[in-house]
Amino acid sequence: MEVLVAERRSDRPVPPTGGTVAIGALVHLPATVIEEGRDLSSMSGILADSTYRLLPA
């Protein structure tokens, strides 16, 4: 993940834990939906959008 971000934003280096935090957030979203008993298909747009927004951060 750090390499991908460095290629896009070389002026803003990714902290060492940046990738871990981003992946943790993306794992937490569907886990919350499952715990609440909601349908996971409702998360597809949110997960894709979140991933896209996190990469150039």
Structurally, the chain folds into a number of domains equal to: 1
pLDDT, tens digit, for every residue of 1-57?
566 655 666 676 667 787 788 788 878 888 888 899 988 887 777 777 777 776 655
Q: What is the pLDDT at residue 26?
A: 79
Q: What is the pLDDT at residue 7?
A: 65
Q: What is the pLDDT at residue 10?
A: 65
The DSSP secondary structure of 17-32, one letter per residue, reads THHHHHHHHHHHHHHH
Domain, as residue range, for 32? 2-54
| Cβ-Cβ contacts under 8 Å for 46 (sequence gap 6 or more) | 29
| Cβ-Cβ contacts under 8 Å for 57 (sequence gap 6 or more) | 5, 9, 18, 22
pTM for the full predicted model: 0.48
User: Any idea which residue has 């750090």 for tokens?
Assistant: 2
